[in-house]
Amino acid sequence: MLEGGNKAVNHAVGAANLKESASSLLGMWMRAVLALRYSVSETGLESLPPAPRKRNDGKPGMLILPNHPALIDPVIMYSRLAGIGPRPLADERQMSGLVQKAVGRIVGVITIPDLAGAGRGGMGRVLESLQAVTEALRQGENVLFYPSGRAYRSGRECIGNNAGVFRILKEVPEARVLLVRISGLWGSSFSHAGGKAPNMMACLGRGVLAVLANLILFMPKRKVRISYVETKALSDMVEAGDKKGINRFLEEFFNQDAEAPVFVPRYFWQRRDSGSAH
């Protein structure tokens, strides 16, 4: 246990590890729904110290840094970590619909503009979003932040010169940092592997119809693997002012499982190589 018995750290229900503290009824429901399509395996959470939904001891929350192969991975990630209530950072365009806005209010989404389409003043708005992340961490909340700022355009994570992680940890160096590597989604219809930008709501709609067409029980499964690693290396690099080193470190971690697109059939009567599905 952390900090000798401090309930703010050890979780109100006395969780033994991060896997237990990340568990919740909402997460269980989400995983049950996602299990209609995704067969998810994960490693690492059971070996990490627990975390509360929100710290109340004056120390910052946890910064969760996943790779981003497809638009569906934030949903999968939240289903595994719902018990610690991570606030996701999301592209404001993807959160513009009524359904997305309603969900965003429930889970505390922090929106960020895409610099490519933000126009004049875009950088200022991006910095405002990053400041919102640092304030949430300082208040003891956990945040789900994607270092690349966008979904994969190839089978590898590319962070480039993005300075988001460096800026956040420079402001909140004591935050716990959890790295998450998710694989198996490159080739999903939620990804760019098909050569065009996916639409979240359209993909969800097709997925619901496919589940019904497969009589719910016979939906082909996409295998997804998730690995969790807590590290202090990034905070040390921030202290040394090594922004490029941070991005290289993250890319090397995320790309350990760089993969070719995997296309899973949408219907049980189709062959495995018959095309992309959600």
Residue 52 lies in a domain: yes
Average per-residue pLDDT in the chain? 88
Domain, as residue range, for 170: 3-152+160-257
Residue 38 domain-assigned (yes or no): yes
The structural domain count of the chain equals 1
Q: Is there a domain that residue 269 lies in?
A: no
Task: Output the pLDDT for position 131.
Answer: 93
In a domain, 168, yes or no: yes
Q: Is residue 214 part of a domain?
A: yes
| pLDDT of 6 higher than 70 | no
Residue 112: strand pairing partners = 91
Specify whether the CB–CB gap between 259 and 188 falls below 8 A: no
Q: Find the CATH number of the domain harbouring 50.
A: 3.40.1130
Residue 31 lies in a domain: yes
Q: In the 8-state DSSP scheme, what is residue 57? A: S
Q: Per the domain annotation, does 265 fall within a domain?
A: no
pTM: 0.89
Q: Which residues contact 83 (CB under 8 A, 6 or more apart)?
A: 21, 22, 23, 24, 27, 53
> Distance between CA 220 and CA 203 in Å, rounded?
16
pLDDT digits (tens, 9 = 90+) for 130-179: 999 999 999 999 999 999 988 899 989 999 889 999 999 999 999 999 99
Two structure tokens written together for 165:
């992680």
Amino acid at 165: V
Which candidate, 7, 43, 18, 20, places its Cα nearest to that of 226? 43
Picking from 251, 255, 253, 258, the residue whose alpha carbon sits closest to that of residue 187 is 258
Q: How far apart are the first and last CA of the chain?
A: 40
Give the pLDDT band of residue 104 (cuts 50, 70, 90).
Answer: confident
Per-residue confidence at 7, pLDDT binned at 50, 70, 90? very low
Other C-beta atoms lying within 10 Å of the C-beta of residue 271? 7
Burial 220-234 (b: 16+ CB within 10 A, else e): bebebebbbbbeeeb
Residue 68 tokens, joined: 């981003």
Answer whether residue 271 shows pLDDT above 90: no
Decide if 211 is inside a domain.
yes
- Give the residues across from 176 on adjacent strands: 62
| Segment holding 250, helix H or strand E | helix 243-254
Query: Would the pLDDT of 183 be above 80?
Result: yes
Confidence bin at 269 (pLDDT 50/70/90): very high
Q: How far apart are CA 178 and CA 31, in angstroms?
A: 21
Cβ pair 181, 254 in contact under 8 A: yes
